[in-house]
Structure 1
Amino acid sequence: MDPVELDDEELEQIRRYEDFTTIDWIQDSKLERSQRIRNARNNYAPRRGPRGEVTIPWVWARVRGAADAAQTWFVVSLVGVCIGVNAAIISIVSEWFSDIKMGYCSDGWWLNQQFCCWEMEGDEVDGCETWHTWSTVTLARWIIFIMFAAIFAFIASHLVRSLAKYAAGSGISEIKCILAGFVMQGYLGFATFFIKSVTLPLVIASGLSVGKEGPSVHVACCVGSLVAGAFDKFRRSQSKTREIITAASAAGVAVAFGSPIGGVLFSIEEMSHTFSIKTMWRSVFCALVATFTLSAMNPFRTGKLVLFQVTYDRDWHFFEIIFFVILGIFGGLYGAFVVKFNLQVAAFRRKHLANHGVAEAVTLATITAMIGYFNRFLRIDMTSSMAILFRECEGGGNIYNLCQTHAQWRISNSLLLATIIRIGLVVITYGCKVPAGIFVPSMAIGATFGRMVGIMVKAMYTAYPHSGIFKFCAPDVPCITPGTYAFLGAAAALSGVMRITVTVVVIMFELTGALTYILPTMIVLLVTKAVGDFLGTNGIADEMIRFNGFPFLEKEDHVYNVSVSAVMRKDLQTLSESGMRVKDVESMLSSTDVKGFPIVSADGSLTLVGYIDRSELRYVLERARKTRGRFSHTPCLFTPQGYDHDLDLADDGLEDTPERFFAPTSEGELQFWPWVNQVFTSLSYFSQLINHLQTPMTVSPQLPLEIVMQIFKRLGPRVILVEDHGVLSGLVTVKDVLRFIATEKPEYRPSWDERGGLDGLLEELWTWGTNVFSRILTWGRRIVRR
């Protein structure tokens, strides 16, 4: 292997294992370009031989090139197949765990209620002889229901805490940061993938007000990362790995909602800032393969990719726009409410419950089961609930008396109660230490509210069929379809909490196949977006990024009328281009925790020479220590002797030799050449790293901060150096920009910083609970002593 190529590999391994750092995409791009040039040189072969014939080496080079190009599509296909298979298994197991809380099948313990009662028509299985409830006594069934919920939550939370802490939560916020270049070692590893896949059905079956669609995206990205890591082409390139992970995220949404195009749009709208045409096609292909695999496995044996997939064949009326606007307003208010108060709960959880994740999950599951058992729309799985609420009344849709006129007010009250309770449960549950998504809970909340509105509108039509508002209704055709209101309410709630619009429209269209309802969906989502914009809220994923302090700039982040000099870091740790010894460099590394060092001239003028990364300093020192032993007094040169700063370095630097860079410039230096060259051969990488691997960006102190933010968003450098006429003034990173936004811009104040509200109530409850617990312990000790 080429020495330069070997050095690049070793350096890449060092960078790969640095946790909680950011990838310099400019440097990664240059390394990848150098790798392509090396491959082209190594694979070069003349097309024609001495006699004009086609040479075998040329043919073999073309074959290798075609195989290399096909490898990417093979990896994308393999990722899609794995995601589809995993999604099918999770769906099947989730259904079984959810039904086992209520009873068992006498024909086979492995059958869930649907398959056990396959011969029964519709979803009413009360008369199914092969399905047996655990008890005929309501109280006993309630207790067993609670016990199963608590056991499932305990197993899931304990596995997460013990084996894979990164398996907790949704994962969308973290994946957005990873795609932007933030390194979280192990977040997309096998342990996370396995534990999240195993615990996700348990969490869904426990009844917690969380969904599996968000975690499905995380699991899919784990699959993409693991499969890509098995191939050298992707393992050595961060940008190529990012393409596969982006495609996997699209496939994750595709199998979660049965919406391949919606998955691709979700990746564009929500996940990745740098979405090239090449990445888009790979995302489309991966989503299609994953969806095809899921469809081929047919986990529900109904031909549906998801349980709540429905079909509408009726049209809507213009007078219904009034009620569509109401649904949109609800979606915007719901999103703002949940984001605001869930983040306050997250702040409380971080402060008091960080070490009590298992107890918290079990407590929440117990409370949810105790309350939800007595409401039919809270007792069953949320996806099953949406499948019922989305249906038209004709064709087997009269489940739970949803379509009975005599029961409409009782059903409306039950739906309203389910909406209110579910909102409260989502606020306190989302973010606990189990795999937890918010897509389906939000859709379930919107579905119950929307169905309630639809029932009320239908009741108005039934009471006043000849009113002027209903004059467009045909007499022999049902005028109002409450199921469509549930469908639109689900879209509004999902858009309100995630702050995405186009993706939701496409997902809902692919779920229903109803072209006629695209316009109502757009109306609802535009109203939802307007309400959210008016209230000034961001999506829950974006707010969680800020809450966790990840170095991520949103596309919507802007700061005007501020220069970069107001944000830059001025107290810098610098290295001199010459005059330093190894012990000085080691002392600098041990006394600081910065990720890199600017290189300045040795004359004390702070003239900027370059920049070197901390990991590369450690790499050079470790390599020299292994080969040379003790060398603490060895001089370190960060620029080659005789190096011309005006030298054009536009080439890739692959032909550079020590003679070119390190030739002595005077007789005084020449007399040390035999000794210096011996150690300098190991330390010469300093100057090579500065001049060829690092490409520091420099800006003027007067440059507007907004332009610097655009550079970070579009180009992705780790650090930008600020220099004034060649003299180093400071440096700025993404965290410096975010810190400035948080401290200097009051309009960016996060909602969890606002005291009073739910956070204050939780603090009071925590204080009261700890006092009561202390008293109980004290009384217990006294009783034991007696």
Structure 2
Amino acid sequence: MSLDTETKAIDWIEDSILERSRRLREAKDVYASRQRTNGRITLSWLISHVRKLLVASQSWFVVSIVGALIGINAAVISIITEWLSDIKMGYCSDGWWLNQQFCCWELDGDEDSGCDSWHLWSTVSLARWFIYVLFAAALSFVAARLVQSLARYAAGSGISEIKCILSGFVMQGFLGFWTFLIKSLTLPLVIASGLSVGKEGPSVHVACATGNLVAGRFGRFSRSQSKMRDILTAASAAGVAVAFGSPIGGVLFSIEEMSQSFNTKTMWRSFLCALVATVTLSAMNPFRTGKLVLFQVTYDRDWHFFEIMFFVVLGIFGGLYGAFVIKFNLQVASFRRKHLGKHGVAEAVTLATITAMIGYFNRFLRIDMTESMSILFRECEDGGDFEHLCQTSAQWRMVNSLLLATFIRTLLVIVSYGCKVPAGIFVPSMAIGATFGRMIGIIVKALYRAYPTSGMFAVCQPDIPCITPGTYAFLGAAAALSGVMRITVTVVVIMFELTGALTYILPTMIVLLVTKAVGDLLGVRGIAEEAIRFNGYPFLEKNDHVYDAPVSRVMRRDMYTLRATGMTLGDVENYLDAAKVNGFPIIVDDESRTLVGYIGSQQLRRAIDQAKRIRDLTPDILCTFSPDPEEQPDARWSAVGNEEDTEANVLYAVASPGILKLWPWVNQMPLTVSSKLPLEVVMQLFKRMGPRVILVEDFGMLVGLTTVKDVLHLEPHEQLNSPIIAWSNRGALDGALEELWTWLADMRSSVNAWYSRISGRRR
């Protein structure tokens, strides 16, 4: 979607006025009821107060239901994902529905202890490899086909779009039932196929769809966009909470990453939703380990100050990794949009097949990413060995394997994230950081063993392990996640809740501060923000930009305006049909252009249609958008939100013969600014107040209007702190993909020509 595409947006000022009108109306009803009963306690009085109590508690009830459903859905997805991931390698003779962990439960899932119930598909290595690849291709094909046929919005992560929805951008169907169902069904298939994508981002999308479906059943939320936004924000917090087993981290994620306007009431609702979802997931215990996530660990060993230099290395890696992945992934996305738009299924199957063919031969790429992290996070002294990971004799072989896994998975993430299946980037990034961090930890441990008497290791005691490579994997995962998402506080809290140890809070903060510094130095935005810019969504970022321009630089001077008096109904309807805009400024006349107010297109069309139902209106009837001097102006905007007031306003509009009074639907106090106002101030108005449009006037004369999309059209060179990385810049990877595509097209043409010649000779 480009910025030129007409999109719908929510006017938060209008929504707040509507909500205020409803509250005033309810208060008047309560006051009228008291007046009728003279303050006596009657049955109607009790019923009204009980109803008021139920309405007040409705939000907390809805949030609790949403949290419970999110927890149940997350548990089911986790169980199915584990089974599908293991079925690629073998099956359980005791029950086909059991994965390897449950099949070998008595042996605690130890692969080396010889589980008789778990059978590999074949004893031949080549056959096992072929079956592994075949399963990966089949799972990815089913997932991509379902997404393409039934719910195209189920593809991708969904975080970028949800950020836009929470800011007021309307995307019909993105949080609908089919999107929820297909994404819930295909997410386990995609993860089990081995594609280098994660389920944490899609989990947020599924959680918000759950919140939208549940809250939409209640009129209080379906008619108020601000209340629905609170539910969606709370649901996004619950989505992260069940993904990482981190309720507080989920709340902070919704504050730091998702929502632009966050108040105390929304925070408490988010906390309750995340808490209920986490408790539900814990009660279902999908991994039968008593832990909320598969890679949850506990560290009780202290760290040493000399390790800070290695922590800084991990932080630098996180920043460089984020910049590298974001830049080249957007180039791949540009190539995908240009050439692969109609080949989503083939692309997903090809990527899954290539990933399986390559990853099978690396021990850290072959297994599921969450399982890989659970292995890399372990301490060697507590039974954490996996295929000689903790053996000194195999340390350099492990270093090579971890380095290769880091490099290959980084490339696979770049080309896989954004394909037409549910795809997140949280866990893949953490898995990459974990392999790199474990590699650094093994190297540091090898240095200690080689030079135990060095001054750097003087604080180490001979009888106590000095270096814990698992903690380096843990810190590397945090660095990579922070580098690609550009979030810091949330990652610290999530990692704290994963480990349950305050000991490594300081190292985590050091690593993430270095990661953020490197990202800021390179001018990197988070991948969600870059995806928003790439897709052209009208979204204003949280960070403040300094523009070397006034608002007159971007405002629209050619506008469709309505005159306050003198226009016929036919003229107004012609304007509505010809002008594809969200609303019309109202002026006194074309010469003075004195601003009177603003009216939305939908409100105007609805008012005219309802007036026609009450009385036959001819096209030559005069319309007035301003009240007579003796009439009392009323800016309630009641026609949008309340049927009773709508009917009253329509009856008033058609009361006078020969004239249609439309001024009750006019916003007589629109938000206006001067044309000389700096553009960054206008940006703050859009961010904090959320209007759909801001009118520009000089000395009472209307000179233009501006919207969010107009501001986003500003050229990058006019932004004084514009980022270095831009998706539109052609890079090496983009050029290489273009060359590869050209080569494949030429080869296809050659094969077709050869086949035609052979077929002609046979005839």
Tell whether 2:53 aligns with 1:66: yes
The CA distance in 1 between the partners of 2:59 and 2:40, in whole Å, is 32
1:739 corresponds to which residue? 713
CA contact (8 A) 2:634 2:664 kept: no
Tell whether 2:729 aligns with 1:754: yes
1:355-393 deviation per Cα after TM superposition (whole angstroms, max 9, x unaligned): 110010000001100100000100000000000000000
1:303-331 deviation per Cα after TM superposition (whole angstroms, max 9, x unaligned): 01110000111000000001000000000
Tell whether 2:687 aligns with 1:700: no
The aligned amino acid for 1:710 is Q
The aligned amino acid for 1:473 is C
The CA distance in 2 between the partners of 1:340 and 1:663, in whole Å, is 59
Pick from 642, 658, 666 the counterpart of residue 690 of structure 1: 666
CA, structure 1 residues 644+723, in 2 after alignment: closer, same or farther (shift >3 Å)? Answer: farther
- Deviation, 1:41, is 2.0
1:613 corresponds to which residue? 600
CA contact (8 A) 2:64 2:276 kept: yes
The CA distance in 2 between the partners of 1:626 and 1:726, in whole Å, is 37
Pick from 565, 571, 595 the counterpart of residue 584 of structure 1: 571
Tell whether 2:693 aligns with 1:719: yes
CA contact (8 A) 1:117 1:125 kept: no
1:781 corresponds to which residue? 756
The CA distance in 1 between the partners of 2:86 and 2:452, in whole Å, is 42
- Deviation, 1:707, is 1.0
The CA distance in 1 between the partners of 2:376 and 2:758, in whole Å, is 54
1:490 corresponds to which residue? 477
CA contact (8 A) 2:221 2:227 kept: yes
1:766 corresponds to which residue? 741
CA contact (8 A) 1:84 1:290 kept: yes
1:676 corresponds to which residue? 658
Tell whether 2:32 aligns with 1:57: no
CA, structure 1 residues 601+484, in 2 after alignment: closer, same or farther (shift >3 Å)? Answer: same
Tell whether 2:264 aligns with 1:277: yes
The CA distance in 1 between the partners of 2:149 and 2:526, in whole Å, is 30
Q: How does 1:207-222 map to 2 (within 5 A)?
A: 207-222=194-209
The CA distance in 2 between the partners of 1:648 and 1:105, in whole Å, is 73
Q: How does 1:89-488 map to 2 (within 5 A)?
A: 89-121=76-108, 123-125=110-112, 127-488=114-475
CA contact (8 A) 2:637 2:665 kept: no
CA contact (8 A) 1:640 1:662 kept: no
Once superposed, which parts of structure 1, at least 4 consecutive aligned residues long, lie more than 6 Å away? 48-52, 650-664
CA contact (8 A) 2:550 2:678 kept: yes
The aligned amino acid for 1:701 is S
- Identity percentage of aligned residues: 68
Pick from 480, 483, 486 the counterpart of residue 499 of structure 1: 486
The CA distance in 2 between the partners of 1:553 and 1:51, in whole Å, is 52
The CA distance in 1 between the partners of 2:404 and 2:115, in whole Å, is 29
Q: Secondary structure at the match of 1:365?
A: helix
CA, structure 1 residues 88+630, in 2 after alignment: closer, same or farther (shift >3 Å)? Answer: same
Q: Secondary structure at the match of 2:95?
A: coil
- Deviation, 1:95, is 0.4
Q: How does 1:618-629 map to 2 (within 5 A)?
A: 618-628=605-615
Q: Secondary structure at the match of 2:111?
A: coil
- Count residues in correspondence: 753
- Deviation, 1:621, is 3.3
- Deviation, 1:39, is 1.7
- Deviation, 1:20, is 3.2
CA, structure 1 residues 323+784, in 2 after alignment: closer, same or farther (shift >3 Å)? Answer: same
The aligned amino acid for 2:164 is C
Pick from 730, 738, 757 the counterpart of residue 704 of structure 2: 730
The CA distance in 2 between the partners of 1:106 and 1:720, in whole Å, is 68
Q: How does 1:502-541 map to 2 (within 5 A)?
A: 502-541=489-528
Tell whether 2:532 aligns with 1:545: yes
- Deviation, 1:689, is 1.1
1:567 corresponds to which residue? 554
- Deviation, 1:86, is 0.2
1:401-458 deviation per Cα after TM superposition (whole angstroms, max 9, x unaligned): 1100000000110000000000000000000000000000000000000000000100
1:549-596 deviation per Cα after TM superposition (whole angstroms, max 9, x unaligned): 111110114124421111211111111112222222232223222221
1:675-734 deviation per Cα after TM superposition (whole angstroms, max 9, x unaligned): 426xx3xxx3x3111047xx5200111111111110000000000000111100100111
2:620 corresponds to which residue? 633
The aligned amino acid for 1:332 is G
- Deviation, 1:61, is 2.2
Q: Secondary structure at the match of 1:752?
A: coil
- Bigger mean CA deviation after superposition, 757-766 or 632-641: 632-641
CA contact (8 A) 2:71 2:281 kept: yes
Q: How does 1:655-670 map to 2 (within 5 A)?
A: none
TM-score (norm 2): 0.95
The CA distance in 2 between the partners of 1:51 and 1:358, in whole Å, is 70
The aligned amino acid for 1:400 is E
The aligned amino acid for 1:396 is G
Q: Secondary structure at the match of 1:740?
A: coil
Unaligned 5+ segments in structure 2 are none
CA contact (8 A) 1:247 1:287 kept: yes
CA, structure 1 residues 652+195, in 2 after alignment: closer, same or farther (shift >3 Å)? Answer: closer
CA contact (8 A) 2:555 2:704 kept: yes
Q: Secondary structure at the match of 1:751?
A: coil
The CA distance in 1 between the partners of 2:156 and 2:574, in whole Å, is 40
CA contact (8 A) 1:327 1:450 kept: yes
- Deviation, 1:182, is 0.4
Q: Secondary structure at the match of 2:18?
A: helix
The aligned amino acid for 1:101 is K
- Deviation, 1:173, is 0.5
- Bigger mean CA deviation after superposition, 191-200 or 615-624: 615-624
- Deviation, 1:784, is 2.3
1:65-98 deviation per Cα after TM superposition (whole angstroms, max 9, x unaligned): 1111111111000000000000000000000110
**RMSD, aligned CA:** 2.4
The CA distance in 1 between the partners of 2:579 and 2:717, in whole Å, is 25
CA contact (8 A) 2:17 2:636 kept: no
1:600 corresponds to which residue? 587
